[in-house]
Structure 1
Amino acid sequence: MGISDRKQREKAEREKRIIAAARMLAERDGWGSVTVRRLAQEIEYSQPVLYTHFVNRDAIVGAVALEGFGELGPILRASVRQDANPTDAILDVATAYLQFAFERPALYEAMFVLPSGLRFAKSDTPQVLRDTFGAMMAVVVPFCANAEIATESFWAALHGLAELERHGRIRATHRDERVRHVVAMFG
């Protein structure tokens, strides 16, 4: 292994450490605690070293969000029961999406709430975002001629439910009933 290979490997490892530290701090103390200074202390590197990997905090949030999309897409796909009819499939995905939001609140916030620099529905949208959207769209297709718009609406409804419940604006005890109402809009 040459020097340049070793340096690239070390840089990739530092980047992974930065992302892991950001996730850990956000999960433990909230995203307000995630600063470049705090991350530098956490991973025992100087702030300029962090800036060689990420131009700013939003870029770090974006890297965390990309990891989150890499986790969410497969979860959504795996949530659909093998023998599910189209209505059950969309219900499975809706339930899995909300479960993800509540089990990983800091990650969800990075993906869908905080500035991240990620661009959706553009020519340069990262593939992992497209794959996650595709996991949602796969269960919407049987119901709609314009599956992209319908999937955006489905996603928006789920995101609204997640955010309202996460912030105590609606009762968690009625989550399943609300999900059934969203799914019924497609039936």
Structure 2
Amino acid sequence: MAIDDRRERERAARRRLIVTTARTLAEAEGWDAVTTRRLSSEIEYSQPVLYKHFAGMEQIADAVAIEGFDELAKAVDAAQSGSGSGGDALGRITHAYLDFARDNPAVYDAMFTRATGLRFAADDTPPQLEEAFAAVRQAVAAVADERDADTLTEVFWAALHGLVTLTRAGRLRAGHDSDRVRLLVNEFADRSRPRR
């Protein structure tokens, strides 16, 4: 039994090393630099060892994405812990989301822009994706009133993703980030406007 436990710990450590190395390379040099050949060289294991853990690069990038969703959920949860109105919490999670995307561009790409087998709102959705959505939904639900919180969360998330993507591509005016965030939060949190 002890030998099996040790082997499983070693296997988990190798898997962790592969994911960490892929993430480090992607953040430093972009996803094009992350190949199974490069990974095997960096971690000093043969390519067949990598394939014992992952079927290919897509699965490695998915593992990085799952790790990113876990981290994003924790960042959003931490941002909600302060006091204030629902709009205040929505503003804090907006900043936490945008900061996460800015600080982890390759991880964010793995989560949202690379081709992936990961799916939201499906029977096989990994729990880390569900937890990230639930963390954002919690803040959105606090300002949803009679509106459908799930749909509102999807639209809010899409708006956040749009801000990340357009900002990274240089498609938005510099120096107006805080204005955009304030407008976005106010649009979702303003309960005084009539709803259709």
Same fold (TM over 0.5): yes
The CA deviation at 1:172 is 3.8
Corresponding position of 1:184:
186
Matches within 5 A, 1:7-18: 7-18=7-18
CA distance in 2 between counterparts of 1:169 and 1:90 reads 24
Matches within 5 A, 1:23-62: 23-62=23-62
The CA deviation at 1:81 is 5.0
CA distance in 2 between counterparts of 1:77 and 1:2 reads 38
Please tell me whether residue 115 in structure 1 is matched to residue 124 in structure 2. no
Corresponding position of 2:167:
165
CA distance in 1 between counterparts of 2:176 and 2:32 reads 30
TM-score computed with the length of structure 1 as normaliser: 0.95
CA distance in 1 between counterparts of 2:159 and 2:141 reads 17
CA distance in 2 between counterparts of 1:82 and 1:50 reads 43
The CA deviation at 1:142 is 2.6
Q: Give the paired residue count.
A: 187
Corresponding position of 2:155:
153
| 2:167 partner letter | E
Check whether the contact 1:61–1:115 (CA below 8 A) recurs between aligned residues. Answer: no
Cα deviation 1:88-114 (Å, max 9, x = unaligned): 111111111001111111111111111
**Ranges of 4+ aligned residues in structure 1 off by more than 6 Å:** none
| 1:51 partner letter | Y
Consecutive unaligned residues of structure 2, counting only runs of 5 or more, are 191-196
| 1:185 partner letter | E
Consecutive unaligned residues of structure 1, counting only runs of 5 or more, are none
Corresponding position of 1:142:
142
Please tell me whether residue 2 in structure 1 is matched to residue 20 in structure 2. no
Identity of aligned residues (%): 49
RMSD: 1.2
CA distance in 1 between counterparts of 2:45 and 2:72 reads 30
